Every structure is written in C-alpha cells, then in structure tokens.
C-alpha cells in the first residue's frame, strides 16, 4: 500500500493531501520517518571530519525533517479533528516519539561531537543566527540530560515517556468530560434573558442531535459564555457554572486529579535529576524572565495595583445587584450576569448591540485588510487546496510584489472532534536550506458562534479580539524570514511569543481599523462613531478583576512548577493555598481550575502562563509607539516586521525588541492602558 505521507505531495504549493491520508497511514509513516531520522544522526556520528558548525550543528538542525512534517500533521489533527481512533494512535505514538527524542538527546557519541563543535567553532565567523543555533543546540542537550550518567539517563527516559502519556491522558479526559455534559431545556421560560441568536443556536444544537422543540446548551464557549452573561434563571446558571468548573474534577473515569499530581511530581523529579531546583528553573532559564523571582516580581507588582481596583469593581457590581434585588453576596455564577448589566448601564453597550456589526466573514476580511495596510500582504482564497474538514478555508498569502508568502488555513467553528479554545499552529515551517526557500503553512483554529438558519455567524467583541489575537500569531509565522526552521516564526522564547498576538488586539479598538470591516450585516451601515467610542470607553471595564484573575492563574501555574517538594495534600487544597491572595469570591465546593488547566498540563505553558502578562508589558509599550506615530504608520510597521515578525528566534528577544523600540520596555504603559495607573 502506497503511503501518501511518505511521498512527495503533488498538490498546489506541496500542501498536505488531507483527502488521501488515512488513519492507518500515520504509524507506519512515523516509524519510517524515525528510521530515516536515526540514519541522519548516524551519518553525523560517522563523519570522520573534525566536528564543526556545518557538519554537526547545522546537520543536526536539518535531520529528521520528514518526521517533523508527519508529526505536525498528526498532532494538529488530533487537536482539531480527533476521534477515539486518533487518540489511540496518539497513545501508541507518543511513547515512541518520546523515546526517539531521548535517544538523540542522550546519545553520548553525538553529544561529544556537539560539545567539540560548540567549543571549537570560530564564533567570530558565525552570523548572529548561527550563534543562536549553536547555543540553543548545545544547551538543549545539556538541559535534557546529556551530561548525566547512564543510570540517570535511563531514569530520565522513563520520566519523559510517562509524561508524554500523562499529557495526552489529561487532554483526552478534559475533552470527554466536557463533551458528555449537556443541559437540555424544554421550557421556553427558562430561556428568559437570552438573546434570540443564542436561543436559535441552542435550538439548532438540539436539532443536530435529533431533538426538535428543545434547546441544548454545552460547555463549548459560544454556548456557555452567553448563557452565563444573559440567562435570568439563576439555578440554571449555577448548574452550568458547576459543570464547567468541575470538568475533570468529577468522581468519574475522566478525573484528572491523580494526573495533575503525577505530572507536577515527575516534572519536579526531572528538574532535580538535571541539577535544577524546580521545573520552573529549567523553563525560565530560556525565557526573558530568566528565573521564578522575576516572574513573582511582575505578578506582585500587577496585583498590588489591580487588587484594590478589583474590589472597587466587585462592589460596583454588587451595588447594582442589590438594586435589582439580586443575591447578596453574589456567587461566581452571578458575576457575569450582573457585570454585563452594569456594563450596559455604564456604557450602553453589550454584545447584542455590537454583534450585528461583526459578521465573521467581514471580520476576517478586516484582519486581512489590517495586515495589508501594515505589512503589504494580501490574501487570495483558494478552492484547490485540500482541507481536513469542510468548514476549513484556505488562502494564498502574497507580498506587495505578488510573491507567495504562505498558505493560510482558517478553522472557526466548534465541533465534538475539536478541543475548546483558540490557537495558531503550523503544518509546515519556514527555512532557507540549499539556496531554496520553504514557505510556511499556517493555521488558526477557533470555536466561534456558528451561523444559524436565519443569521450568519455574528461574533461577540471578545471573539473579534480573539480572531485578531490568533491572526497576530499567524502573521508571526507567515512573515518568518529566517534560515533555520527551529529559530523561525513563532519559535521564540515563550514569554515573547504572545507579543505579536496581543499587539494585534489593539487595532480592534481603533476607528481607522473598525471602519475597514465593522458593517451591519443587514444594512451594510458602518459602525456608528458613538459605538466605536463606547468600545474604547469600555475597554478597561473590570480590568482590575481580569488582571487579578490572570495573576491568580500565573501563580497557580508557578505553584505547581516551582515545587520544593512533591505535595502530599489534595489537588484542591494545594490550589486553594496557591491562589488565596487572588481570590475575590468565597470558594465554591466541587470546582477546581487545575484539573482543566490544559495550558500547563497539556499545552506548552508549564511555568509559563505568566507570559501573557509579560507579553502585555511588551505589547502596551509597542502600541504606545504606534499611537505616537499613527496606527497604520508604514515606517513603524516596517520596523516591527523587520525586527520582530520576520526575525523569529534568531537573536535574544530583548535585543530584537531594543532594535525595534530603541529601549527596554516599561510596565508603565500597561498599567496606564489598563487604567490601573494614573498618568
């Protein structure tokens, strides 16, 4: 049987032939690609010439490329188009891939060559990008156990294999526990307060399950969030909140408590084995923050400014709640409902007023126009590029001269086979090997409100900023212009990677940008200037509360990963102790964040969740510069593209930032922007 994953892709731009790939192709293709990768390593080891940058460091960088391609296809689909069969393949493949990686990183003979090349390379003759690759390669081996003795290496391999399985189990449990909850409503009175579009979407969800004349609500964000914001029925809000807050914390087969503790414990053991005090120390060594103390300093500074503001905000919401004869004190399942009413009272603005101006197709077009005005790139829709699901759209991205830049995939709607949330990913990276340029295939995956029988997909303003956020990541990938793939695009320090994405959100608040796309889906009327002003005025609504919440999540992450010893108390007790200073409500029995905290136990954010706030410091500092020069100033945009977007991880991020901005960032712009610091 011919395996399309092992052949040249004879498709436009050599894009992935999704229609030809069957599930049974993955494992044999991976096994073949691993054998080829091992052969690449063997040829480096067999090379009789003295180890140097070209024959060792660069050769290693270029090894195993087929495996990288197949892995990215498989694991991307396992996140956005999964099935029980895909998850079983992932369970089988993950230990094999972990072992493959360990065999390379713990290979004594290979490391000797790398060490020789590292020590003997003429660093004066290397470019900054080559120097970065040299440092990164050597340190990655040391940080992954190359200096350990054989017994410790074997122990490390066991830990890595177990961690790869546990991470998969965590994500599968969370997806299954989320999907199994359904809240069926048969009495229309229980829908009081909900906008018509939300009710219609719930009716459509029920119909898709074969049940007419009922309404279905799930834990998918487009279903969960509007119900919590608008539903008058307090008991049903509580029911939905408890279901969401207890995901993978229930007494069933999908409980993640033991997995959370085992992952945290194994990461701590691994850190000690490698000579570090904690997992956080390992992670932060290759971050802009450098060490846990700097992260705590940032989080403490933000908390100091945000907490008093958050308490004032809570009091304001409670006061409104009291005037409406609501509960005193409010519970967590009341807060979104009453804060939405307060927002409407203060700013006369809410999602239902704004949504008609944010038709998904027009918002996408607006993101494209924004990128064109800033960076000169255009997006041409293609129908001849294969996709993994009928809802996915593809685009050929071109520069101002019409030259191909990237293929862009967009996947916007929830489905049971897709995990919750929104993310950017790549199906192929960018490099410049053998005097040829490989351009990237970049994708954004979201879970937005679906079209209904009577309305197109109309986005909440939060969904608009989410789309621009992920599009910012996509631009970082698409505009990559490096030589080495492992240093290209979004392959940067983790607390730097959110700068382009969070920066893009700012344009959603600017009239010059909104005028490009915010038009009423029925009348085509441009969004009124007074609504634009209200969007700006309400931008800092609950900013203290939101900042305290983010600080709490950052502290919870660090608590699990800056351990001095493995915890003996329960997951819930541990979490309570870690977040006590950032709690704004009384604890609710039966809910838990850690068991559903996929960013840190399934994604790559362990000891790195703080990076959202770190990047906000960079982003606020950057956008102040745009505001000073003009939000569509071509020179400022060119400086950002040339020094940040195109450069990837080719230099230390602080050096790249200073080349763009001319100085190191300050926290002051963020505190000013958030309304937490008076000018």
The pLDDT assigned to 678 comes to: 59
Q: Which residues pair with 411 in a beta bridge?
A: 445
Residues 140 and 186 in one domain: no
The last residue of one of the domains, among 197, 219, 241, is: 241
Distances in whole angstroms, Cα of residue 162 to Cα of each of 76, 91, 155, 445, 482: 21, 11, 11, 28, 34
* Residues counted in the chain: 679
Residues 89 and 203 in one domain: no
* Distance separating alpha carbons of residues 668 and 671, to the nearest angstrom: 5
* Furthest-apart CA atoms within the chain: distance in Å: 82
Q: 114 with 141: CB under 8 angstroms? A: yes
Query: In this model, does residue 333 exceed pLDDT 50?
Result: yes
Residues 138 and 86 in one domain: yes
Asked whether residue 462 is domain-assigned, the answer is yes
Burial class (CB in 10 A: 0-12, 13-18, 19+), 249: buried
pLDDT tens figures, 53-106: 999 999 999 999 999 999 999 999 999 999 999 999 999 999 999 999 999 999
Residues 500 and 360 in one domain: yes
* Distance separating alpha carbons of residues 9 and 54, to the nearest angstrom: 29
Residues 477 and 370 in one domain: yes
Residues 235 and 142 in one domain: no
Q: 579 with 641: CB under 8 angstroms? A: no
Report the SS3 class of residue 216.
strand
Q: 199 with 191: CB under 8 angstroms? A: yes
Distances in whole angstroms, Cα of residue 453 to Cα of each of 204, 450, 580: 8, 10, 46
Burial class (CB in 10 A: 0-12, 13-18, 19+), 560: buried
Asked whether residue 281 is domain-assigned, the answer is no
Asked whether residue 407 is domain-assigned, the answer is yes
Asked whether residue 155 is domain-assigned, the answer is no
Name the average pLDDT for the chain: 95
pLDDT tens figures, 380-415: 999 999 999 999 999 999 999 999 999 999 999 999
* Distance separating alpha carbons of residues 214 and 185, to the nearest angstrom: 6
Query: In this model, does residue 625 exceed pLDDT 70?
Result: yes
The pLDDT assigned to 679 comes to: 40
Residues 215 and 94 in one domain: no
pLDDT tens figures, 440-489: 999 999 999 899 889 999 999 999 999 999 999 999 999 999 999 999 99
Range of the structural domain that residue 49 is part of:
4-147
Residues 37 and 123 in one domain: yes
* Distance separating alpha carbons of residues 556 and 263, to the nearest angstrom: 14
pLDDT tens figures, 218-277: 999 999 999 999 999 999 999 999 999 999 999 999 999 999 999 999 999 999 999 999
Residues 137 and 187 in one domain: no
Query: In this model, does residue 303 exceed pLDDT 90?
Result: yes
Query: In this model, does residue 677 exceed pLDDT 80?
Result: no
Query: In this model, does residue 590 exceed pLDDT 80?
Result: yes
Minimum mean pLDDT range among 114-118, 184-188, 601-605, 632-636: 601-605
Asked whether residue 550 is domain-assigned, the answer is no
Query: In this model, does residue 345 exceed pLDDT 60?
Result: yes
The pLDDT assigned to 676 comes to: 87
Query: In this model, does residue 1 exceed pLDDT 70?
Result: no
DSSP 404: E
Asked whether residue 639 is domain-assigned, the answer is no
Residues 455 and 364 in one domain: yes
* Distance separating alpha carbons of residues 388 and 368, to the nearest angstrom: 23
- Helix (H), strand (E) at residue 207: helix 196-208
The last residue of one of the domains, among 524, 539, 554, is: 539
- Residues labelled catalytic: 470
Q: The CATH number of the domain where 120 resides is what? A: 1.20.1050.40
Distances in whole angstroms, Cα of residue 316 to Cα of each of 34, 330, 334, 456, 541: 59, 12, 14, 36, 11
DSSP letters spanning 54-119: IIIIIHHHTTTHHHHHHHHHHHHHHHHS--HHHHHHHHHHHHHHHHHHHHHHT-HHHHHHHHHHHH
Query: In this model, does residue 107 exceed pLDDT 70?
Result: yes
Domains contained in the chain, number: 3
* Distance separating alpha carbons of residues 275 and 362, to the nearest angstrom: 53
Residues 441 and 518 in one domain: yes
The last residue of one of the domains, among 539, 569, 597, is: 539
Asked whether residue 560 is domain-assigned, the answer is no
Residues 219 and 109 in one domain: no
* Distance separating alpha carbons of residues 78 and 71, to the nearest angstrom: 10
Asked whether residue 435 is domain-assigned, the answer is yes
Q: Residue range 562-568: average pLDDT?
A: 90
């Amino acid at each position: 049987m011919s395996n399309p994953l092992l052949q040249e892709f004879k498709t436009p731009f050599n894009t992935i032939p999704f229609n030809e790939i069957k599930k049974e192709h993955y494992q044999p293709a991976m096994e073949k690609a691993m054998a080829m990768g091992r052969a690449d390593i063997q040829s480096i080891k067999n090379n009789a010439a003295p180890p140097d940058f070209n024959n060792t460091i660069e050769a290693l960088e270029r090894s195993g490329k087929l495996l990288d391609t197949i892995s990215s296809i498989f694991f991307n689909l396992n996140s956005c188009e999964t099935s029980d069969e895909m998850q079983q393949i992932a369970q089988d493949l993950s230990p094999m891939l972990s072992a493959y990686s360990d065999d390379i990183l713990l290979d004594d003979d290979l490391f000797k060559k790398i060490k020789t090349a590292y020590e003997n390379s003429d660093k004066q003759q290397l470019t900054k990008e080559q120097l970065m690759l040299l440092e990164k390669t050597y340190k990655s081996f040391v940080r992954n156990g190359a200096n350990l003795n054989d017994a410790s290496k074997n122990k490390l391999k066991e830990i890595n294999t177990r961690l790869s399985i546990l991470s998969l189990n965590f994500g599968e449990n969370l997806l299954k526990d989320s999907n199994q909850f359904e809240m069926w409503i048969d009495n229309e009175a229980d829908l009081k307060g909900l906008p018509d579009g939300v009710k219609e979407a719930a009716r459509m969800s029920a119909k898709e399950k074969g049940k007419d004349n009922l309404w279905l609500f799930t834990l998918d964000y487009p279903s969960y969030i509007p119900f919590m914001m608008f539903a008058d029925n307090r008991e049903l809000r509580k029911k939905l909140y408890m279901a969401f807050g207890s995901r993978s914390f229930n007494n069933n087969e999908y409980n993640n408590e033991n997995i959370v503790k085992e992952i945290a414990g194994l990461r701590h053991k691994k850190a000690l084995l490698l000579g570090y005090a904690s997992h956080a120390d390992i992670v932060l060594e290759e971050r802009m923050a450098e060490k846990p103390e700097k992260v705590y300093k940032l989080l403490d500074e933000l908390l100091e400014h945000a907490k008093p503001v958050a308490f004032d905000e809570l009091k304001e919401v409670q006061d409104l709640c009291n005037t409406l004869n609501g509960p005193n004190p409010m519970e967590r399942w009341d807060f979104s409902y009453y804060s939405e009413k307060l927002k409407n009272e203060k700013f006369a603005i809410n999602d239902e007023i704004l949504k008609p101006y944010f038709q998904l197709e027009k918002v996408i077009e607006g993101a494209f126009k924004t990128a064109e005005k800033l960076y000169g790139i255009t997006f041409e829709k293609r129908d001849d590029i294969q996709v993994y699901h009928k809802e996915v759209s593809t685009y050929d991205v071109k520069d101002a001269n019409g030259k191909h830049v990237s293929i862009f995939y967009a996947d916007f709607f929830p489905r049971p086979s897709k995990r919750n949330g929104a993310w950017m990913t790549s199906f192929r990276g960018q490099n410049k090997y053998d005097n040829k340029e490989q351009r990237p295939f970049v994708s954004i995956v979201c879970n937005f409100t679906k079209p209904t029988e009577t309305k197109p997909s109309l986005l909440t303003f939060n969904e608009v900023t989410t789309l621009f956020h992920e599009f910012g990541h996509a631009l970082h990938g698409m505009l990559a212009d490096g030589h080495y793939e492992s240093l290209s695009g979004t392959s940067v320090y983790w607390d730097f990677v959110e700068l382009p994405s969070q920066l893009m959100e700012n344009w959603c608040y600017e009239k010059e940008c909104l005028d490009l796309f915010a038009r009423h889906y029925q009348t085509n009327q441009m969004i009124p200037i007074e609504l634009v002003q209200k969007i700006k005025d309400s931008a800092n609504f609950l900013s203290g509360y939101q900042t305290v919440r983010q600080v709490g999540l950052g502290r919870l992450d660090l608590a699990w990963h800056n351990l001095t010893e493995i915890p003996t108390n329960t997951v819930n007790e541990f979490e309570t102790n870690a977040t006590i200073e950032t709690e704004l409500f009384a604890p609710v029995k039966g809910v838990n964040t850690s068991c559903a905290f996929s960013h840190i136990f399934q994604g790559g954010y362990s000891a790195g969740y703080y990076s959202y706030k770190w990047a906000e410091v960079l982003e606020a500092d950057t956008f102040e510069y745009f505001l000073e020069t003009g939000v569509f100033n071509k020179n400022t945009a060119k400086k950002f593209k040339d020094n940040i977007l195109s450069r990837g991880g080719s230099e230390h991020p602080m050096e790249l930032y200073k080349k763009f901005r001319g100085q190191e960032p300050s926290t002051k712009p963020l505190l000013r922007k958030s309304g937490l610091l008076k000018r």
